Amino acid sequence: MAVQWNGPVVIAKQTQATTEGVRQASEALLAHARSRAPFREGDLRRLSKADAEGNSGRVSFSSVYAARQHEEVGWHHPIDGQAKYLENAKNAFGAEFVQIVGNRLRGAL
């Protein structure tokens, strides 16, 4: 009985699937966080993005007031949104993000 080792192929598929899964999970986190971000004219939500490299993902809000809006829990948001919009989204949907990456890996392998 012959055994064929395909380790490099499997590792390449695993690496690609991980990156794709992390990117997809980062985009899902961004969508959840955007929907929770305070809204007045839309700049905070519009100036946000998600990206991934390897097994690391990043979600960022780049307006000059994004961090302050996130941290000021006493501010009132009369139109829509909340403080801690990114943190709350991560906490509420964390299991979903792990599942997204896991599904990508299962599909690839």
Q: Please state, in angstroms and as integers, the Cα–Cα distance from residue 67 to each residue in 40, 55, 81, following that order.
A: 16, 25, 14
Domains of the chain by residue range: 22-108
The alpha carbon dihedral of 78, 69, 28, 97 has a sign of negative
Cβ neighbours for 14, distance < 8 A, ≥ 6 positions apart: 105, 108, 109
**Distance of alpha carbon 28 from alpha carbon 23, whole angstroms:** 9
pLDDT tens per residue across all 109 residues of the chain: 888 888 898 899 999 999 999 999 999 999 999 999 999 888 999 999 999 998 899 999 999 999 999 999 999 988 899 999 999 999 999 999 999 999 999 988 7
**Distance of alpha carbon 56 from alpha carbon 80, whole angstroms:** 30
**Distance of alpha carbon 20 from alpha carbon 49, whole angstroms:** 16
pLDDT of residue 5: 86
